[in-house]
Amino acid sequence: MSVEVVMPQMGESITEGTVSKWLKKVGEHVDKDEAVLEISTDKVDAEVPSPGAGVLLEIRHQEGETVEVGTVVGVIGAEGEAASENGLPRDEAPTVVAGGAAQTETETAEPKPAIPETIPSATPAPIAEAEIEVSQPETSKVVMPQMGESITEGTVSKWLKSVGDRIEKDEALLEISTDKVDAEVPSPSAGILLAINVNEGETVEVGAVLALVGTVRESRPIEKAPAEAVKASEPQHATPETMPSPVAALASATVGGHNGGRSVEDLRRTKSSPLVRNIAREHGVDIERILGSGISGRVTKNDILSFIETGAALRPEDLLIKGSPALPFVASPAQKEVLIPKTFTSTEDRVEKMSVMRKKISEHMTISRKTSAHVTSVYEIDMTHVARFRAARQSEFQAKYGTKLSFMPFIFQAVTNAIREYRIINSQVDGDQIIYKGDINLGMAVALDWGLIVPVIRNADTLTLAQLATTANDLADRARTKRLKPDEVQGGTFTITNPGVFGGLFGTPIINQPQVAILCVGTIEKRPKVMTSADGDDYIAIRQMAYFALTYDHRIVDGADAERFLALMKKLLENAEFSI
């Protein structure tokens, strides 16, 4: 019996994953729990183990494909065995018969009697030369799909089929638009389009029934009423009695495929997403002046951004907002900035597609810059006291705990103590509310060969110096070998990044949303420093010095609080009595 390899659930908020790399080929032997492929999500990369021993019979999703959690990505079984479907061998796999019941191919489905319908005609126009008749009352509902966790509604942009048209299973039936994406909606089954419930341009909630598709068989001609005889503004909503009926279906024949008397300008304005309209308002652009490349002339995000990048948005004729007094629109400083030129490639360039992790990092960083008011304060801290303590106990620590004692646990401890005094540093923003987080969960940025990941030390303020060291080293090691669990990269309340390991003096990092601050630790190196003796005499000494840069969200963190936070860290690291 074959077993299925499925896309695993990598965390509560994760609904899909991308097949990054297949570690086995079809036909190769796989041991139970042996890694068979690598997957990538927006939180973590991981290897997927084989649920059983055998041969990789089938790969159903190729590298680069993104699928929902629970989707079967591969099949493992005995050599020569056929891959299974729904847990059964292929020769016993269920097939869908009339009425939606599942049968194996060895069973015989009882045919359901056809329900004939008499179609009155008014100046009839035949549907090409096809002869169709509804063969059973079962229908399939076409619903507004869920296009993302935060998307609750969508707009019907264009019907690609009219009532009475034949449709193949998975054939594009209509186009929809949300504030995030444009997409085609495929037909859930083959048949004819029986009813259209939502007009073009209408916005409905996710899950709303957009149309009905019924199964058909060749029989006798059905004639369609002419478009003029149908009232387009009243789409026919199906009832159990009318669902299979071509009469009810044809009554809405002209709902799809028309613009309801609206002009192209109206369509462009009403069909552009809220995001596009917001961009237009910010840049003083009249959407009607842009030739849309989207559905029914709809202006897409790419259209308006390209329009702005060309400088067209700054022409005098575009600096007037339609409907406003005839006064020149004053361009914002952002509009006056030098536009970024388009990129061009040559034969010597190497073009590489972004990985899933890189795209997510790109999106996360861009969103953070647009969300928080970033300000950075820098302190120079004398780490000589820490360096001496560390050097004196390094061998003992290594022998006792089996791992090295770096500078970072000392910094973690100083951060948690400073956060206790200044809780605003450990907060989050929710609209016009400030959430002071009860737990102190430290995120530590770990550089990988293929990107960056931030595992989290939970309840760091409750851990000893030794526990902080062992936990941090364990997380870093497992991050580099793709063995982190999803919950180990979530829930951070404050992040620390350490470019100093590469020699950097200091940096101004981007805040890890939804946090409000991030600490950047520069390289710890020997530098000359002016010191003062107990007698008040100045002298120059060689000290272990480092720059600490705190980037914070100036919407809620004042400069004074950031300075006090760093000052307390400086005091603790330079003078505190440490214990392992």
Catalytically active residues, by annotation: 554, 558
Neighbouring residues of 463: CB distance < 8 A, sequence distance ≥ 6:
457, 471
Reading the block at residue 272, the tokens are: 């552009």
Distance of alpha carbon 61 from alpha carbon 151, whole angstroms: 26
Distance of alpha carbon 536 from alpha carbon 299, whole angstroms: 72
Q: Is the dihedral of CA 5, 10, 13, 16 positive or negative?
A: negative
Cα-to-chain-centroid distance, residue 233: 37
Distance of alpha carbon 117 from alpha carbon 178, whole angstroms: 38
Classify burial at 348, counting beta carbons within 10 Å of its beta carbon; exposed 0-12, middle 13-18, buried 19 or more. exposed
Phi, psi (degrees; rounded to nearest 5) at 359: -65, -40
Reading the block at residue 419, the tokens are: 């956060």
DSSP of 429-494: EETTEEEE-SS--EEE-EEETTEEE--EETTGGGS-HHHHHHHHHHHHHHHHTT---GGGGS--SE
Neighbouring residues of 526: CB distance < 8 A, sequence distance ≥ 6:
542, 543, 544, 545
Q: Are 130 and 246 in contact (CB under 8 A)?
A: no
Neighbours of 464 (CB within 10 A): 12
CA-wise closest residue to 445 among 480, 406, 394: 480
Q: Are 516 and 557 in contact (CB under 8 A)?
A: yes
CA atoms within 13 A on the CB side of 304: 25
Neighbours of 199 (CB within 10 A): 18
Reading the block at residue 557, the tokens are: 């963190």
Distance of alpha carbon 409 from alpha carbon 416, whole angstroms: 11
Q: What is the dihedral of CA 39, 40, 44, 48, to 10 degrees?
A: -10
Q: CA-based angle 383:405:519, to the nearest 5? A: 50
